[in-house]
Amino acid sequence: MSSTEIPAAGADDAKTTAPPYQITKGVNGLEKIILGDIRGNSVEIYLYGAHITSWKNESREELLFVSNKAIFKPPKAIRGGIPLCFPQFSNYGPMEAHGFARNRFWIIDPSPPPFATPSTNKAFVDLLLKPSEADLKLWPHSFEFRLRVTLGPSGDLMLTSRIRNTSTDGKPFSFTFAYHTYFSVSDISEVRVEGLETLDYLDNLQNKQRFTEQGDAITFEDEIDRLYLSTPTKIAILDHEKKRTFVIRKDGLPDAVVWNPWDKKAKALLDFGDTEYRHMLCIESAAIEKPITLKPGEEWRGRQELSVVPSSYCSGQLDPQRVLKGQMNFYASS
């Protein structure tokens, strides 16, 4: 397997200790980028779809779920990891479900703009997508989509999407968006999600009817497909068996989708194992209920930061001071 090693984008100077990233061949010869650090944390991103398919901690433990039946063959989207849903989420519009960004080949920006704040000890890469003539027939709007994938010094995974209206016709456009993140879990029956209690949601299994979450946390006993509205900037996924908690921090993404296909739907998906639903959970940071509208020259930014902390259990409850109400430097980073 051949690979090309490139100095880490955004290095402050020649003496930087930021690790390099590699470009190598992945499944079926598709090119992928590997970001890593000296501790062993790593991220893999396919240029096809700008699709993150792996995020590992310093123990080389995989934190994202990718189906063993995933089809790494365009134009099929990759099942698992972090697909990008743009310019349409699911069937919330006239286009093919989840839009086309996840089915396109992106390019690396070799000269990305600098971080707004010091970027010491961060490995990152910028990927770009601009519409082809075929895309413009599907969705007649000129845009530039810049995705920055950053591996933080403690192994946190940060995604920053910047979408700009580059049209010259003076017309605005609107879109919906989601980071369709598939988290790897020990057993879905041992998982709870905190941070969405008391919120309203649209139930996609009941024709998008609106309900209010009644539980003090979300637990899983059957298929779920909900769009939670006006969600907080932090959501926690507690995995009791692994004694770890995923923390999702987000900005510019007011909605959150919670999805698990359960057994019947899993068996109906060609690129999904019959029992794999037990080991995954999608919590998707999103902007769906109120589409984003950009005038020519305007730019939207949506950020998601993923981290892992040890779970603190007391009668099944996460210590709120540690995660949900804890201090963070999310807005201070790029």
Q: What is the pLDDT of residues 210-235, one digit of tens each?
A: 999 999 999 999 999 999 999 999 99
Mean pLDDT of the chain: 88
pLDDT surpassing 50 at residue 317:
no
- CA–CA gap between residue 33 and residue 26 (Å, rounded): 9
Look at residue 307 in the predicted model and tell me its pLDDT.
97
Q: What is the mean pLDDT of residues 11-39?
A: 76
pLDDT at residue number 313 = 45
> What DSSP letter does each residue of 98-143 carry, written as one string?
TBSGGGSB-EE-SSPPPPSS--TT-EEEEEEE---HHHHHHS---E
Which of 95-99, 212-216, 259-263, 284-288 has the lowest average pLDDT? Answer: 95-99
pLDDT score for 293? 98
End-to-end C-alpha distance for the chain, whole angstroms: 33
Radius of gyration of the chain (CA): 19
Q: Over range 20-27, report the average pLDDT.
A: 89
For 66, the token pair is 């990718």
Output the pLDDT for position 5: 46
Lowest mean pLDDT among 120-124, 146-150, 249-253: 120-124
The dihedral over CA atoms of 22, 111, 128, 77, expressed in degrees to the nearest 10, equals: 0
Which sequence positions are flagged as catalytic?
180, 284
Cα gap 145→301, rounded to integer Å = 10
Helices (H) and strands (E) in the chain, counts: 2, 24
Q: What pLDDT score was predicted for residue 15? A: 40
Q: How far apart are CA 264 and CA 60, in angstroms?
A: 32
Verdict on whether the full-model pTM lies above 0.85 = yes
Nearest Cα to 254, choosing from 227, 211, 212, 287?
287
Task: List, for residues 159-181, the tens digit of each pLDDT value.
Answer: 999 999 999 999 999 999 999 99
pLDDT at 279 over 60: yes
Q: Label residue 116 by pLDDT band (50, 70, 90).
A: low
Predicted confidence at residue 118, as pLDDT, reads 56
CA–CA separation, 297 vs 227, rounded Å?
30
Q: Can you tell me the mean pLDDT for 69-79? A: 95
- The pLDDT of residue 92 is 77
Looking at per-residue pLDDT, the higher value among 167 and 5 belongs to: 167
Q: Over range 283-296, report the average pLDDT.
A: 97
pLDDT at 315: 35
309-332 burial, b at 16+ Cβ within 10 Å, e below that, comes to eebeeeeeebeeeebbeeeeebee
Residue 99: strand pairing partners: 86
